[in-house]
Amino acid sequence: MTNNLNAMKFIEVKNLSKTFDQFLANDSISLTIKNGEIHALLGENGAGKSTLVKCLYGVVKPTDGQILINGNHVTINNPREARSCGIGMVFQHFSLFPALTVSENILISLDEKITKKHLEDKISIIGKQWGLPIEPTKKVLDLSVGEQQRVEIIRCLLQNPKLLIMDEPTSVLSPQEINQLFKVLRKLANSGCSILYISHKLNEIKQIASKVTILRSGKVISSTSTSKISTTSMAEKMIGKKVKKITKFSKNSFLNSLTAISINNLNRKKISQFGTELKNISFNVKYGEILGIAGVAGNGQVELMNALSGETLGDPDEIIFEDKKIGNTNIKFRRSLGLEFVPEERNGHATVPDITLTENTFLTFYNTYSKNNNFLDDILLSSNMSSNDSISIINDNDVRCPYSNPLADQLSGGNLQKFIVGRSLKANPKVLIISQPTWGVDIGAASEIRSKLLLLAKSGKAIILISQDLDEIYEISNNICVINNGSLSKPKITSKISAKDIGILMGIN
């Protein structure tokens, strides 16, 4: 009986298409998920994963095609109807309310009538049953990201779903939290609930899913069981060309060189309620070295970046660059010494979203252009130079623009990031401090950005890389330290620190 049930199809998608204006986001997609199956959906950004999932969850309406649940044709007009068909979804960006408690968050998304007290008991029971412990009376803003995800999952489980859609669930979790999540997912699958698991992390898909469907430019490229496909061929199918192998340079190449920048007992008070206090942060970076700073989001990365770039100031000797004490100097001064900064937020921090790329270049380089002390001439001359500069950044870094000289926010995330990194390289920095360089960037652009960073280090420059992506840190950094609750661990050589060690340093079990 159980075997029979497991073999049954829960949901079948037939030739589903979706067009936005002229753009074909989903091109005749077919997909079958059996009961109790963990089915991975793999694809780059813009491959059509989100659109497909939104069609299933009733957020957008498909242009063409059918959806069958348990063999019956259904039309799903809104999330409420999707839930009543047994489809639950955990979004990548949680749809939670920080100022409300866990139980209040869940209460308002339930369609049934239930009192707060009764619901709190129910949350505790479900939490025990599935291994998702949570305090129902806590406010969401006091929870860690992993706990917030538990709230989302419990919210779905309360509706007894037959299919749970998880959109990039591990991008914000520590290795230990990922293992815990996988345990829960397997337990769910064993109980007969199907899971549609969206990700672009190949190893995870191998680990958790039994089947994988690969999308590229809105089409299904391949749908096969994960035991029959290697991660390399998954990657190739996903991006449609051979993946460039990054060649690593010799790890000791920088060992005899000078210290570029040293941070000594750097402290910063937290600025807002949700901020993190930086406590006694110390490290050195040599020329030719890439220092990777790992950590779960919200543990002081933003504060550290602000302190390093000069957005928040402190004592002069907290930051020493080539014997110069610069802890109390502003960004402009630091940049004039040869430091460059790429902050986490592309739109609005690293660039001004609603002005053109040339204008963004102008803002960055105006001070470095030679001047004739005639304001009007200087402006005209500088704008010519910035136009040339932005064109050369675009060409050198393969930035694909929808039209010539677009507004910054008209570029896709990956292309804008390539532009920003290229702009920093153009300034020929001695030290590059870069935060989350490939967050939300497709795999092709990410590997290009990483090669550029490696090339820069090879030419003898120092790089501080703050990233949540452990694979990235392992791939390109020489030394690794971990930031946890505003404290930084001692740097360790990359080959001598395991993912498990890093998880422990992240402070989550």
Partner 1 sequence: MENLLITILLTSIPILLAGLGELVTEKSGVLNLGVEGMMLCGAVAALGSVLIFGNPYIGILFGAIAGILISTVFSFFTITLMTNQVATGLGLTIFATALTGLIGEPFVGKTAASLPKLEIIFLSDIPYIGKILFSNDILVYFAIFLIFFIHFGFQNTKIGIIIRAVGDNHDSAHSIGYSVKLVRWISTSFGGMCAGMGGAYIPLALTPHWSEGMTAGKGWIALALVVFASWMPIRLLIGALIFGGITILQFVAQARGWDVPSQFLNMLPYLATILALALISLKLRHNNYAPACLGKHFLGNK
Residue selected from 15, 77, 78, 428 as contacting partner 1 according to rule CB under 8 A: 78
Nearest residue (CB) to partner 1, 96 versus 457: 96
80 belongs to the binding site for partner 1 (CB under 8 A): yes
From the list 72-80, 173-181, 314-322, 332-340, the region that binds partner 1 by CB under 8 A is 72-80
What lies within 8 Å, CB to CB, of 188 at 6+ separation is: 130, 164, 195
Nearest residue (CB) to partner 1, 68 versus 407: 407
Nearest residue (CB) to partner 1, 104 versus 204: 104
CB of 95 to partner 1, least distance (A): 4
CB 10 within 8 A of CB 39: no
By CB under 8 A, the residues from 245 to 284 that bind partner 1 are 272-273
CB of 98 to partner 1, least distance (A): 6
Long-range Cβ contact pairs of 388-397 (< 8 A, separation 24 or more):
389/361, 389/365, 389/426, 390/357, 390/358, 390/360, 390/361, 392/426, 393/357, 393/361, 393/419, 393/422, 393/423, 393/426, 394/357, 394/419, 394/422, 396/422, 397/421, 397/422, 397/448, 397/452
CB of 19 to partner 1, least distance (A): 16
Phi, psi (5° rounding) for residue 352? -90, 120
Nearest residue (CB) to partner 1, 121 versus 398: 121
The candidate with the shortest Cα–Cα distance to 41, out of 128, 166, 125, 148, is 166
Nearest residue (CB) to partner 1, 116 versus 186: 116
Nearest residue (CB) to partner 1, 267 versus 405: 267
From the list 73-81, 211-219, 243-251, 299-307, the region that binds partner 1 by CB under 8 A is 73-81
61 belongs to the binding site for partner 1 (CB under 8 A): no
92 belongs to the binding site for partner 1 (CB under 8 A): no
CB of 36 to partner 1, least distance (A): 27
By CB under 8 A, how many residues form the interface with partner 1? 20
Would you list the DSSP string of 392-418?
HHHHHTT---SSSS-BGGGS-HHHHHH
**Structure tokens that stand for 288 in this block:** 């030719």
Nearest residue (CB) to partner 1, 166 versus 473: 166
- String of contacts with partner 1 for each residue 104-143, x by CB under 8 A: xx-xxx------x---------------------------
Cα distance between the two ends of the chain:
38
69 vs 72: CA distance, rounded Å: 5
By CB under 8 A, the residues from 198 to 227 that bind partner 1 are none
Nearest residue (CB) to partner 1, 133 versus 348: 348
Residue selected from 28, 30, 97, 267 as contacting partner 1 according to rule CB under 8 A: 97
59 belongs to the binding site for partner 1 (CB under 8 A): yes
**Structure tokens that stand for 316 in this block:** 């002069």
CA angle 58, 63, 69 (to 5 degrees): 50
Residue selected from 13, 96, 208, 266 as contacting partner 1 according to rule CB under 8 A: 96
21 belongs to the binding site for partner 1 (CB under 8 A): no
CB of 205 to partner 1, least distance (A): 26
The candidate with the shortest Cα–Cα distance to 31, out of 49, 7, 4, is 49
CB 56 within 8 A of CB 165: yes
Sequence letter at residue 25? A
Sequence letter at residue 365? F
63 belongs to the binding site for partner 1 (CB under 8 A): no
Nearest residue (CB) to partner 1, 261 versus 411: 411
What lies within 8 Å, CB to CB, of 107 at 6+ separation is: 114, 116, 119
Q: Which residues sit at the interface with partner 1, rule CB under 8 A? A: 59, 78-80, 91, 94-100, 104-105, 107-109, 116, 272-273
